[in-house]
Amino acid sequence: MGILFSISSQSSSSPNPSLGELPESCIAVIMEYMDPPQICKLASLNRAFHGASLADFVWESKLPSNYHVIIQKIFDGSSFPSHLGKRGIYSRLCSLNTFDEGTKKVWLDRSMGKVCLSVSAKGLSITGIDDRRYWNHVPTEESRFSSVAYLQQIWWFEVDGEVEFPFPAGTYSLFFRIHLGKPSKRFGRRVCNTEHVHGWDVKPVRFQLWTSDDQYDSSQCFLKGPGKWRYYHAGDFVVEDSNVSTKVKFSMTQIDCTHTKGGLCLDSVFVYPSEFRKVKEFLNYS
């Protein structure tokens, strides 16, 4: 019995290993297989996890394979900090980075590290945009670009645009972000003026896209649901070479001149990885 008591006492008095005793190198290897939000949460556990979360090879695996080319596209040589580690680069690319005179924004989705891009209404070619009888640029907090193009009424509706960017390899979907009615605030509450909404239920709107390597896609649908921002899917395209910029041209038209249409806010055009259509709730435009 004395022997048993001695063994029991030794085992109970021996300290249990803690997470803080794990080597940073081992923790970093594990983190390499985690999503960025998980890494950031674990970094707050203790000093070892925080140190491991700063390892360059952990964040190298989260960055797009062509992130050097993306940086050159977005930033001037002098405007991107040279002292940033890979985690700092990832964080900087997750911000809304503006280029092409403020008409385009690009960022990495924080959860998946995928490239997302948007083109403002001011970066699009819109028929009649300079005639105040038809179109106006309206300031709003509901746009990443702080303003949208608002259509009161027109016979010939046509919007064209293009973007050239070194997208990482993958499949991408292009959407137009549209709102029927004119949103505003009254006494701090959001309201929607539907006074000019008409004509979108007579004939469908046609969406099209073309790429520099001869891909083509199109869709058409009636615009619906005043009072809510909706994402209308124009089509998909595939990028195979990450080191070459892909040029994408796109359009949105309703050119049947037998009737007028109006009361539409055009915010921007979005390009997202196609897999986001399954995981991003805000792309559920149907």
Tokens encoding 91: 């964080």
Same domain (yes/no): 151, 257: yes
Same domain, 51 and 133: no
State the pLDDT confidence band at 5, using cuts at 50, 70 and 90: very low
Domain containing 146 equals 115-283
What CA–CA distance (Å, rounded) separates 171 from 98? 23
Pair 52, 120 in one domain:
no
Backbone angles phi, psi at 120, to 5 degrees: -75, 165
44 shares its domain with 130: no
Residue 216 lies in a domain: yes
| 158 found inside a domain | yes
CA contacts within 13 A on the Cβ side of 270: 23
Q: Which range, of 143-147, 153-157, 165-169, 185-189, averages the lowest pLDDT? A: 185-189
258 and 155 share a domain? yes
**Residues 49 and 154 placed together within one structural domain of the fold:** no
Is residue 48 a part of any domain in this protein? yes
Distance CA 90, CA 107 (A): 10
Q: Please say if the pLDDT value at position 68 is more than 60.
A: yes
Question: 55-64, 74-83, 150-159, 253-262: which range is least confident on average?
Answer: 74-83
129 and 243 inside one domain: yes
264 in a domain, yes or no? yes
Q: DSSP for the chain?
A: -HHHHHHHHHHHHSPPP-GGGS-HHHHHHHHTTS-HHHHHHHTTS-HHHHHHTT-HHHHHTTS-TTHHHHHHHHS-TTTS-SS--HHHHHHHHHS-EEETTTTEEEEE-TTT--EEEEEEGGGSEETTTT-TTTEEEEE-TTSTTSEEEEE--BSSEEEEEEEEE-PPSEEEEEEEEEEESEEEEETTEEEEE-TT-BSTTTS-EEEEEEETTS-EEEEEE----TTSEEEEEEEEEEE--TTSPEEEEEEEEE--TTS-BB-EEEEEEEEEETTHHHH-GGG---
In this structure, the answer to whether residues 34 and 150 fall within a common structural domain is no
The strand pairing partners of 173, in sequence order, are 236, 272
> Is residue 65 in some structural domain?
no
In a domain, 109, yes or no: no
Residues 166, 28 within the same domain: no
pLDDT in tens, 189-207: 888 999 899 999 999 999 9
Backbone phi, then psi, for 124, in 5-degree steps?
-110, 155
Read off the pLDDT of residues 207-229 as tens digits, 9 standing for 90 and up. Answer: 999 999 999 999 999 998 899 99
- The CATH number assigned to the domain holding 168 equals 2.60.120.260
The count of domains in the chain is 2
Q: What is the DSSP string of 227-253?
A: TSEEEEEEEEEEE--TTSPEEEEEEEE
For the chain, give the mean pLDDT: 87
In-domain check, residue 178: yes
- Let me know whether 120 and 258 are in one domain: yes
Judged by phi (left if over 0) then psi (alpha if -120 to 50, else beta), residue 7 lies in alpha
How large is the average pLDDT for residues 21-50? Answer: 78
Amino acid at 233: H
- Is 120 in the same domain as 199? yes
The verdict on residue 164 lying in a domain is yes
Do 130 and 232 sit in the same domain of this protein?
yes
